[in-house]
Structure 1
Amino acid sequence: MDLQLSGRVAVVTGASKGIGLAVARTLAEEGAHVVAVSRRRTDALPGEVVHVAADLMDPQEHARVVGRAVAEFGGLDILVNNAGGPPPGVTLPRVGFMAPDDEDWRAMFEFNLFSVVRMIRAAVPVMLERGGGSIVNLSSTMARQPGAMNVDYAAAKAAVSHVSKAVAEEYGPRGVRVNTLTPGAVLTDWWTRPGGAAEVMGAMVGATKEDVVTKVAPEMLRMVTGRLVDPQEIADAVALLASPRSGSTTGAELVIDGGQLKEL
């Protein structure tokens, strides 16, 4: 299937690893001009991808990123708000409502919500100049399943889902589509890095990191596939949502979670 992405200009945040890296690679393979945003460049990015080093917790950086896309390629057609998760220096999972203090909440919302809001705010006027565009915001199944674990992160992602629908409603008539992609647990370094979620969870339940990734986490999360999601599976869905082939899809939520969410 031709996704009709050739020559389109895309900005992907959090693009140095995991989902973001897979998205940047996939859009580039489909012929898009990709601006990859992260604190540091990785050699894993394709050579034709333009990297912009930026800290998206800095309110001044979002307009600079979009400006770079315009300077390099003349405009912006696609925005993928993937950056998120634990703010720098924070380790998740974190259990209990009382665990995060005010500063933890501020940092979590700054990274996972306000950076998304600011990127959209910078991107929409540029997209409107070109007659429209596509925004894909990454949320989380935690936004749909409130609980004691990572409550601040889940609340921020729930807000992302709300913002996505609000912006889709306002700008859909002017050609800007906005959709949310909601992953479940994805096999990224969020889980596998030293001191990451797999080790933290393993210490809680008395399991090795490897057992957490391959067995404990999928079982605890009730993933009917029995495994964590592959980042490429998320990237493929992002590419479809970004494509004109999804021209009637806006204000929607696509869940890719290995069957975790069971609610109607």
Structure 2
Amino acid sequence: MDLQLSGKVAVVTGASKGIGLAVVRVLLEEGARVVAASRKSGPELEELAGPRLAHVAADLMDPGAPAQVVAHAVERFGGLDILVNNAGGPPPGARLPRFSFEGPTDADWREMFEFNLFAAVRAIRAAIPHLVARGGGAIVTVSSGGARQPAPMNVDYNAAKAGLNTLTKALSEEYGPRGVRVNTVSPGPVRTAWWTEEGGAADIIAAQAGTDRDTVMDTVAPQMMKLVTGRLVEPREVADMVALLASPRSASTTGADFAVDGGFLKEL
């Protein structure tokens, strides 16, 4: 399927690894021009270097950073058609999962919302005028299955992601008549650095369960989260959905949330 993304200009946040890196790769494969934003680049992102890719070093905990990223895209490529709010997860220096509401402090809650909600709000605020000026475009935000199926784990993270879902619905109503489509993609557990890096979720759960990190990722986590596929989601599987929603082929899809979660979400 031709996604009709050739020549489109996209901003992708959290782009140096995981889902963000996979989104950058898919968009480049589809012919888009991409501004990849992350605190620092990485070897896998650098392998994609070319005239249609620009990296912007940005710390999205800085309130001014999202607007600077959008401005760079407009200056470099002449406009903006797509915003992918992918950056999220544990704020810099934090480790998830947290197993109880009693764990996170006020400071933890503020940092979680700053990274997972407010950074996306600021990016959208900066992007909207440019999308409207092009006659429309697409905003795709990476949420989480935990926003719709909350549990007494990562409660601050899930609350921030629920805010993103509500924001998406509101934006789709306000800006749909002006040609801007707004949707969310809600992954389940994805085999990214959040799980795989040293001290990440796999190690934290392994310490709780008395097992090793590989067993957590291959067996314990899929069972604990009741994944019907029996495995963690791969980043490319989420990226493919993001690209489809960014595409003009999804012209009548807005205000929607799409689960790419291995069967994690059980509600209708």
Per the normalisation by structure 2, the TM-score is: 0.98
| Letter of the structure 2 residue corresponding to residue 108 of structure 1 | M
Match of 1:36 in 2: 36
In structure 1, distance between residues paired with 2:212 and 2:64: 42
Which residue of structure 2 aligns with residue 201 of structure 1?
205
Name the aligned partner's letter for residue 58 of structure 1: D
Residue number in structure 1 paired with 2:49: 47
Deviation, structure 1 residue 118? 0.3
Alpha-carbon separation, structure 2, partners of 1:237 and 1:147: 25
Question: How is 1:85-100 mapped onto 2 (pairs within 5 angstroms)?
Answer: 85-100=89-104
Amino acid at match of 1:150: N
What amino acid maps onto 2:42 in structure 1? T
Residues 79-132 of structure 1 deviation map (CA, whole Å, 9 limit, x = unaligned): 000000000000100111111010000000000000000000000001111101
Question: What is the alpha-carbon distance in structure 2 between the residues aligned to residue 69 and residue 260 of structure 1?
Answer: 35
**C-alpha RMSD over aligned residues:** 0.6
Matching residue within 254, 259, 266 for 1:262: 266
**Matched residues, number:** 264
Which position in structure 2 is the counterpart of 1:6? 6
Matched with 2:245 is: 241
In the alignment, the residues of structure 2 paired with residue 246 and residue 136 of structure 1 have an alpha-carbon distance, to the nearest angstrom, of 12
Cα distance per residue 1:220-252 (max 9 Å; x no partner): 000000000000000111110000000000001
Distance in 2, matches of 1:122 and 1:187, equals: 31
SS at structure 2 position matched to 1:99: coil
What percent of counterpart residues are identical?
Answer: 65
Q: Which amino acid aligns with 1:26?
A: V
SS at match of 2:184: strand
Note if 1:153 corresponds to 2:165. Answer: no
Q: Which moved more, 1:45-54 or 1:6-15?
A: 45-54
Unaligned runs of 5+ in 2: none
- Whole-angstrom CA distance in 2 between matches of 1:203 and 1:112: 26
CA distance in 1, matches of 2:65, 2:197: 27
Secondary structure class of the residue paired with 1:41: coil
* Partner-residue secondary structure (3-state), 2:44: coil
Match of 2:189 among 185, 188, 211: 185
Q: 1:109 — aligned with what?
A: 113
Match for 1:209: what amino acid?
R
Q: TM-score when scaled to structure 1?
A: 0.99
Structure 1 segments of 4 or more deviating over 3 A? none
The Cα shift of 1:43 comes to 2.4
Report the Cα offset of residue 146 of structure 1. Answer: 1.9
Q: Separation in 1 of the partners of 2:100 and 2:142?
A: 24
SS of residue in 2 equivalent to 1:79 = strand
Report the counterpart of residue 65 of structure 1 in structure 2. 69
